[in-house]
Chains A and B, each alone.
Chain A
Amino acid sequence: MTITRETVKKVAHLARIEIKDDEETQFADELNKIVAWIEQLNEVNTSNVEPLDHAVSYSLRMREDSPESNNHASDILKNAQETVLDFFSVPKVVE
C-alpha cells in the first residue's frame, strides 16, 4: 500500500476536493491499483532519454503587444454566482 487514507486526504486537500470519509478508503484502493499498474514503467530503462512534454518541435510564437479593444467587466462577471460592485466576491480571507 503506497496510498493510504492519509495520502488521499492530503492529495484531496491539495486539489481542494471534499471527500467523504467512506469515499477515502475507496479512493485509496482505486488509486493503489492504478499506481501499482503505472509502476510497470519502471521496467524501462530511461536513463538516457530526454523527457518529451509535447510531440511538436516548433518554438513558441510571440504576439505583438497591441491591446484588445473589447474588455467589458460585465462579460467577465456575468457567469459568476456572486459579484458586488463589479468585484468577484468570496468568503472572507484572513491574511
Chain B
Amino acid sequence: MSKQSELCTLTIASAKEKLLKGEITSVELTEAHLKQMDAQKHLNAFITPTPELALQQAKESDKRYQKNEAKLLDGMPIGVKDLFCTKDTRTTAGSHILENFVPPYESGVTSKLWSNGALMVGKTNMDEFAMGSANITSYFGSVKNPWRKKGSNTPENLVPGGSSGGSAAAVAGNMCLASLGSDTGGSIRQPAAFCGLVGLLPTYGRCSRYGMVAFASSLDQAGPLTKTVEDAALLFQGIAGFDPKDSTSADVPLPNFQKALTGNIKGMRIGIPKEYRLDGMPQRIEKLWQEGIDWLKDAGAEIVDVSLPHTKYALPCYYIIAPAEASSNLARYDGVRFGHRAEGKTLNEMYAKTRGEGFGREVKRRILIGTYVLSSGYYDAYYVKALRIRKLIRDDFMKVYEKVDALLTPSTPNPAFEIGQKMDDPLSMYLNDAFTVTVNLAGLPGLSIPAGFTDDELPLGLQIIGKPFDEGTILNIGSVIEKSSGFLEKARLIRGN
C-alpha cells in the first residue's frame, strides 16, 4: 500500500495515534487527502475545496502536537457540508441563490470543530438547501457515489444519497477522515447507508443550529459521517453541546461518548418495530435486519417485538411540516442583503425573478407546498393536522421506550440507485426517507451503521434509534453490529484497500 493510500484509509482514532506517536504529521495527512480530492474530482463531492486553509490549519496543528498540546480532533482533515456557515469561506447551501455568499461569521458546530483542533479540507456538495435524497438537486451538479456495483465497468453512476451526499462521498472516497452533515429527514443516515458509512443524527437540541442554513428548524440537526463508530463518537463529541445562541439548544450535560463504547449490551432490551417491514422491500434488506437481530441477541441483548402504529403517516406528516417551515425559512433569500439578485422594475418583480432564477425545481416545489399548507383555509386541514400526527408519532416512541432501550430498523428501504432513476416522480424519491423521518419528527437520536451488502456488493445500513440524549447507548449498540457484521473487513476486500 502506498503511503498516500495508507494515510487516506486511516480513521480519526488511528490517525490520532500516529500523530501522537509522531509517525506522521498533520501536514502529511492533509496533503494526502488534498491529493485524493484532486484524484476524485469527478465524484463532485466538494463545492469549494479549501486547500490553503487546510494546510495552514495543519501547520498549526503540528505545532500543538510538538508542544504536547493536541486537542480532541487535532489535525483531522474534515469535510464540511456547505450548509454550515464558515467565516470568510463561501457557503452556498448547494443553491444558485447563495452562489457568492461569504458569511462574516462561523457556525456553532464548526466553531467547536476548530477549537477542538480539526481542520477543513473543503465545503461538501449537497442537495439544494438540503432538500433531496440523492444529491441530484445541487446547483453545482450531482454527486457520485464512490461505490460501484460488482463487475461494473462504467464510471461511477450511483447516487450517494442525500442531502449530505457530498459529505458521504468525500469520506467514502477517502478525501477526508470524516465529515459534517445535517439531517432533517434522513439526510445523514440515508447517505451513510448508501456509502457504507456510520452516520449519526443527534437528539434534537444536542448540536447547535447557529449558523447552519435552515431547512426545517424544528427538525434540522448537525451530525457526523465517519468510517467507524469510534470516529462517530469522537467527532460527535467535538461538535455537541449547549449553545446560548440557539434557543432550541438543550442545556444538558455532555457525556463522554467514547467511554460509552464498551461493546457490552448484555441485558439491553432492543425493540423491533413491525411497521418498518414494508411491502416490496428488497429481500436482502429484510434478511440484513434479521442478521442484525441475531447479532444483538448473540451479544446478550433481549429482542422485543414492538409496535409504532403511526409510522406509515410519518412521511406525509413530514412532507407538510418540513416544507411549511422551509417556505418561511427561505423567504429571506430575496436578493436584497445577500445572494443572487435579478433585476425587476418593481420590488415584487425583483423578488419573483430573483427567487425564480435562484431556486431550483425541488426547492420551488417544496416552497409552493409549504406556502399552500400554511395558507388561509388550509392551515388547520394540513399544517395543524400534521402537528397532531407528529404528537402521535412521538407518543408511539415514548410509549415503547417504557419497555425497550433502543430500536433496530433498516436505515433505508433500498440501496443506492443510479443517477437519473426516480427523478421524474417526487413521491417515489420521498420514499427513501420512510425509515428515517420518524426519528426527526420525534426529536430522537438515530444511528445508521453499515452492516451488509446487496448481491451486487453495494453497502446497506441498519438504523438504531435511541431515547432522547442517549446517543451513548446507540453508539455502543452500533459498535456491536460493526464488529459482528465484519463490514469494515468485507468493504476493504470489495473496494481493494
Cβ B248 vs Cβ A31 within 8 A: no
Which interface class (under 10, 10 to 19, 20 to 34, 35 or more) fits A?
35 or more
Cβ A3 vs Cβ B356 within 8 A: no
Bound: A46/B344 CA distance, A: 46
Cβ A46 vs Cβ B442 within 8 A: no
Known: A56-B204, A61-B244, A80-B336. Contact between A46 and B388, CB under 8 A? yes
Which interface class (under 10, 10 to 19, 20 to 34, 35 or more) fits B?
35 or more
Q: How far is the CB of A12 from chain B (nearest CB, A)?
A: 6
Bound: A63/B87 CA distance, A: 24
Cβ A18 vs Cβ B247 within 8 A: no
Which residues of chain A in 34-91 are interfacial with respect to chain B, using CB atoms and an 8 Å cutoff? 34-35, 37-44, 46, 49-56, 58, 60-61, 63, 75-82, 88, 90-91
Q: How far is the CB of A13 from chain B (nearest CB, A)?
A: 8
B349 within 8 A of A: yes
How many A-B residue pairs have C-beta atoms within 8 angstroms? Tell me. 161
Cβ B310 vs Cβ A81 within 8 A: no
Cβ A93 vs Cβ B371 within 8 A: no
* Residues on A with beta carbons closer than 8 Å to the beta carbon of B384: 51
Which of B317, B368, B385, B386 is in CB contact (< 8 Å) with A17?
B368
B141 within 8 A of A: no
Cβ B218 vs Cβ A15 within 8 A: no
Residue in A closest to B392 when the chains form the complex, CB atoms:
A49
Known: A80-B336, A88-B336, A88-B337. Contact between A38 and B352, CB under 8 A? no
Cβ A54 vs Cβ B248 within 8 A: yes
Bound: A16/B330 CA distance, A: 11
Cβ B394 vs Cβ A76 within 8 A: no
Residue in A closest to B390 when the chains form the complex, CB atoms:
A52
Which of B335, B356, B371, B391 is in CB contact (< 8 Å) with A52?
B391
Cβ A17 vs Cβ B355 within 8 A: yes
B256 within 8 A of A: no
Known: A51-B391, A54-B218, A79-B101. Contact between A16 and B355, CB under 8 A? yes
Bound: A91/B344 CA distance, A: 7
Q: How far is the CB of A47 from chain B (nearest CB, A)?
A: 9
Known: A51-B391, A79-B102. Contact between A41 and B372, CB under 8 A? no
Cβ B319 vs Cβ A41 within 8 A: no
Bound: A38/B351 CA distance, A: 29
Which residues of chain B in 352-380 are interfacial with respect to chain A, using CB atoms and an 8 Å cutoff? 352-353, 355-357, 359, 364-365, 367-369, 371-372, 375
B382 within 8 A of A: yes
The 7 A-B residue pairs whose C-beta atoms are closest, nearest first, are: A55-B443, A18-B356, A51-B387, A79-B338, A52-B391, A46-B388, A16-B351
Interface on A for B, CB 8 Å cutoff?
3, 7-8, 11-19, 27, 30-31, 33-35, 37-44, 46, 49-56, 58, 60-61, 63, 75-82, 88, 90-93
